Structure 1
Amino acid sequence: MSLTEEVLSQLPGNVLEGLRRADSILASLRNGNTPVPQVVTENQNHLDAVEWDVIICGGTLGILIGCALAVQGFKVALLERGILRGREQEWNISRKELAVLRELDLLTDEELATSIVTEYNPARVSFQGGTEVWVEDVLNIGVDPGYLLETLKQKFLKLGGNLFENTPFIDVIVHPNGVKINQQFTARLLLDAMGHFSPITQQARQGKKPDALCLVVGSCAQGFSENTTGDLLLSFTNLQNQCQYFWEAFPAKDGRTTYLFTYLDAEPQRLTLENLFDEYLRLLPEYQDIKINQLKFQRALFGFFPTYRQSPLQTPWNRILPIGDSSGSQSPLSFGGFGAMIRHLRRLTIGITEALQTQQLSAQALALLQPYQPSLSVTWLFQKAMSVKLNQTIPPTQINHLLSVVFAQMEKLGTPVLKPFLQDIVQFPALTQTLLKTGLSHPLVVANILPQVGLFNLFDWLLHYSNLGIYAALFSLSPILEPFIKSLSPTQQYYWHRWLDAWKFGSGSDYE
């Protein structure tokens, strides 16, 4: 029996079986034999009646936008395949990011305070052979998903929202005046919040393999002697199994959470999640300076996150809008999930409200709610620099050395440069300063990385980098454009507001 089998077999809930089930899905995805669902069809006949303004499929994170739209006065229904409840493991985020829950009137001050169950400072960024960088107020808040989702659920119901639990999404028919879901539920608009493996998303992507994957495993355990700081991005080993291993650690309400993750392509020969869990348990004692038998494991964590260059996803159908992980609106360096949804929650609430009010529900109009964002696209080169191809040979210390140099330069440039990047937000001035300082002080490091990432990826990145600067310049014009936009019709305003949003988020200017 392997150490992974021994540890996971002691936990309740058939965790080992779940891990192997996830590996089976991963293998199917890597081999390109995942069947393409056919869950979306179109019908040119009008529906006799449309009951709701919005139906949301996927309740775990869909409740956030569902509650926000209910506050705006829309008739909203939420379909959840099981019981709508949060997981035990906290969601880590920054306190400032949570402010949107108050701004949209989703939580009271007291409820927001109650949802926060852990808080720590500072957090560390460190790579083998480099200096440690410490930051404060980044992913240092642990939110209790159980309390948060139950509170939002009750508010949603009080506002007149309809919740259908144990109601999995089966199919949807798109009509000229609405959508019909599961041959039963009708609405003007369908929001797909079913995540990375949404059948709607799978049909829209037509079985395309991911361009990259992030594999993550971890646990929450008790027994650590030190549990007052965190790690945001840490590596203490060189390349192993053709992967660079990265670690995160956060204090939790019932122990300490530690993650091991790695970025790689979707080749079938790559590590499985069970392989990575073996590595996690092998290296955890060295990482946390503790013996495995001193730990009492509370739960195990594992998953994989597919990422596509063609993101955010824009579906070909009218009246269907993917949101959150269904849309791929997070960078290839991010796990997505709660943090990505929170970042876009206000933008989506306002945009969907305007779309419904002005009847802008065509595929073309809704595509503006998930626009091209250079701030996301430029991170593909970073993903390439933090991973290595299956049969590629590079010095085993190269990735660690590169990251050590880059983060040392960002630390010198200060918090305005360092903190946005650690929160998955890339801005043109900060990126330009970092590139210039790194290139001038360590030209060989930059030169060595070019063969690793390849010329195609470099030229592709240069295009997105240029657009990042253009979007920043365009967004700077928004104060001048506002009086003009206010003079337009509501329909024209919808389009201008979406362009302003695209420039704002596409340039990372949403970071305050």
Structure 2
Amino acid sequence: MTSTKPIDFLDHDTLQRLRKADQLYTALRCQPISVPCVVQNSSESLSNLDCDIVISGGTLGILLASALQYQGWRTVIIERGILRGREQEWNISRQELSVFLELNLLTEAELNQAIATEYNPARVSFFQGYELWVKDVLNIGVDPVFLLDTLKHKFLEQGGILLEQTSFNSAIVHPDGIVVKAGNHTLKTRLLIDGMGHFSPIAKQARKGQKPEGICLVVGSCAQGYDKNETGDLIASITPILNQCQYFWEAFPARDGRTTYLFTYLDPHPDRFSLEFFMAEYLKWLPDYQNVELERLKFERFLFGFFPSYRQSPLKTPWSRILAVGDSSGSQSPVSFGGFGAMVRHLKRLTLGISEALKADVLDSQGLSLLQPYQPNISVNWLFQKTMSVEVNQKADPNQINRLMSGVFQVMDQLGDEVLKPFLQDVIQFPALAKSLILVNPKLVLPLLPQVGVYPLLDWSFHYLNLALYTGLFPLGKLAEPLAEKFPPVPQYYYHRWLDAWKYGSGKDYK
């Protein structure tokens, strides 16, 4: 290490963007959340609707918009900027990409072209603990620029309408439609889909100023100059608990270098450190993590962000004709970053469900809420996130999280890929979880019980039992499929949504 401060490796523009993000992060922790009033109700009827669907938020909304337009629905996308993918690849597993072929969004050749990088194997490793290697898990890097540009072109070619540099302003819900005001445009549609992300004004209004219970803080970079760049890390730690947090690392080859992330789980306490401090910690520990001097690296770009998570998720909006998807709905697991992977996982389910809702005209708040159902396999993750975090004023054994993680992954590794691989892709399944819990050393778990608390443990037990229940209900529900296909459209819609809830809520969607 030289006398140069780690933060000095950031250029002026990156540092300014980091500090701007830090202001938002500080406001989330230290100030009451303002509640916008962007959605209102009206009892007046509409006529002459402009389209079937308006999607606000195009970066990931284009995935759903393309699928719905292909299904024959007149779809409009509102995007506050230019709809374009970022330079940094999105990581995913190959089998998850098959949905683009199933929904006829991409050809086989286009899907192959969208894959920018592929590597094997990936490591899971913990400080002074267990290490394992796994193949074909989150080892594909998708090129967002090519993917979004291809979907955007096809969407427009099929008659979809894209309004770029157009920000969402407000919406008025009527009995037979919804009026959406965006920029200088006024659109009358049957359904508004909120894909504006974690800080969507619609989601803020629906949550009524609620603060998130958890936050995943992430900093990182893509750089050239590493000696070795053939393998990746899915999750790794190289230190004990520092600054009341356990630091976790992720790394993988990228098209123009090697991407490395540092992330941690915490609560939104006002005394938590800043993003700028965390970036300095990332640069401080990166040489030890990757065995490289910072001066040898050529940084292509720096990455940073914070991802809130809410126990009351997925979000069910209180209004008819409005559906939150992706990060707006909070439908991602509290231990994952959400974004592209979460959207792809639910893309087919949402596409078919929304189409069916429009056909059956089930667009009231209760009917639409079934498109974002309670999923016990996501809810059980709350306890796992809590065991990987430390409260601000809590006294903790510096290596307790590493020991626990090491013990859990050693058990899952012994149980084989059918247990390990779904878990690494953030899919919790009851048989795998039950087998793992039985074999984990109680000495690793018992010291954490005072930290976790009685209520979270009881809450987790409720979701764990529901995970078992959903696992049993899904095959039983499938038995009724021949009969259900003869139902009228509305009851058929409800049957399919319950079946989806049992399937995804038990992790049976994992291929």
**TM-score, scaled to structure 2:** 0.98
d(CA) in 1 for partners of 2:79, 2:174: 23
d(CA) in 2 for partners of 1:319, 1:106: 26
Counterpart in the other structure of 1:180: 179
Would you say the 8 A contact 2:478–2:499 is kept in 1?
no
**Of 319, 322, 328, which residue of structure 1 is paired with 2:324?**
322
Counterpart in the other structure of 1:491: 490
**Residue 483 of structure 1: how far off its partner (Å):** 1.6
d(CA) in 2 for partners of 1:367, 1:242: 38
**Residue 5 of structure 1: how far off its partner (Å):** 4.0
Letter in 2 for 1:426: I
Letter in 2 for 1:233: I
Letter in 2 for 1:221: A
Secondary structure of the residue that 1:431 maps to in structure 2? helix
- Deviation string 1:55-97 (CA, Å, 9 cap, x unpaired) is 0000000000000001101100000001000000000001100
Counterpart in the other structure of 1:190: 192
Counterpart in the other structure of 1:379: 381
d(CA) in 2 for partners of 1:171, 1:3: 46
Would you say the 8 A contact 1:384–1:453 is kept in 2?
yes
Letter in 2 for 1:19: L
- Deviation string 1:1-58 (CA, Å, 9 cap, x unpaired) is 9735422116xxx211111111111111112323211111111101132110000000
d(CA) in 1 for partners of 2:484, 2:10: 58
**Residue 478 of structure 1: how far off its partner (Å):** 2.7
d(CA) in 1 for partners of 2:59, 2:442: 46
**Residue 139 of structure 1: how far off its partner (Å):** 0.8
Compare 333-342 and 15-24 and name the one that shifted more: 15-24
**Of 406, 420, 423, which residue of structure 1 is paired with 2:422?**
420
Structure 1 residue 462 and structure 2 residue 435: aligned? no
Secondary structure of the residue that 2:40 maps to in structure 1? strand
**Of 177, 201, 204, which residue of structure 1 is paired with 2:203?**
201
Counterpart in the other structure of 2:246: 244
Secondary structure of the residue that 1:35 maps to in structure 2? coil
**TM-score, scaled to structure 1:** 0.98
- Deviation string 1:432-485 (CA, Å, 9 cap, x unpaired) is 0000011xxx22112112112111111110000000000000002133111221
Counterpart in the other structure of 1:272: 274
Letter in 2 for 1:312: P
d(CA) in 1 for partners of 2:442, 2:343: 38
Would you say the 8 A contact 1:4–1:274 is kept in 2?
no
d(CA) in 2 for partners of 1:46, 1:347: 31
- Deviation string 1:290-332 (CA, Å, 9 cap, x unpaired) is 0000000000000000000000000000000000000001111
Counterpart in the other structure of 1:390: 392
d(CA) in 2 for partners of 1:220, 1:110: 27
d(CA) in 1 for partners of 2:254, 2:314: 32
Secondary structure of the residue that 2:323 maps to in structure 1? strand
Secondary structure of the residue that 2:346 maps to in structure 1? helix
Secondary structure of the residue that 2:106 maps to in structure 1? coil
Would you say the 8 A contact 1:32–1:207 is kept in 2?
no
Letter in 2 for 1:314: K
Q: Unpaired segments of 5 or more residues in structure 1?
A: none
- Deviation string 1:262-298 (CA, Å, 9 cap, x unpaired) is 0000101001110100100000000000000000000
Would you say the 8 A contact 2:33–2:211 is kept in 1?
no
Counterpart in the other structure of 2:450: 451
d(CA) in 1 for partners of 2:264, 2:127: 16
- Deviation string 1:180-217 (CA, Å, 9 cap, x unpaired) is 11160111000000000000001100111110100000
Q: Unpaired segments of 5 or more residues in structure 2?
A: none
Counterpart in the other structure of 2:25: 26
Would you say the 8 A contact 1:61–1:338 is kept in 2?
yes
**Residue 179 of structure 1: how far off its partner (Å):** 1.0
Compare 60-69 and 23-32 and name the one that shifted more: 23-32
Secondary structure of the residue that 2:141 maps to in structure 1? strand
Identity of aligned residues (%): 59
- Deviation string 1:127-150 (CA, Å, 9 cap, x unpaired) is 011121111111100000000000
Secondary structure of the residue that 1:390 maps to in structure 2? coil
Compare 1-10 and 74-83 and name the one that shifted more: 1-10
Number of matched residues? 506
Secondary structure of the residue that 1:147 maps to in structure 2? helix
Compare 379-388 and 443-452 and name the one that shifted more: 443-452
Structure 1 residue 47 and structure 2 residue 49: aligned? no
Would you say the 8 A contact 1:32–1:209 is kept in 2?
no
Structure 1 residue 255 and structure 2 residue 257: aligned? yes
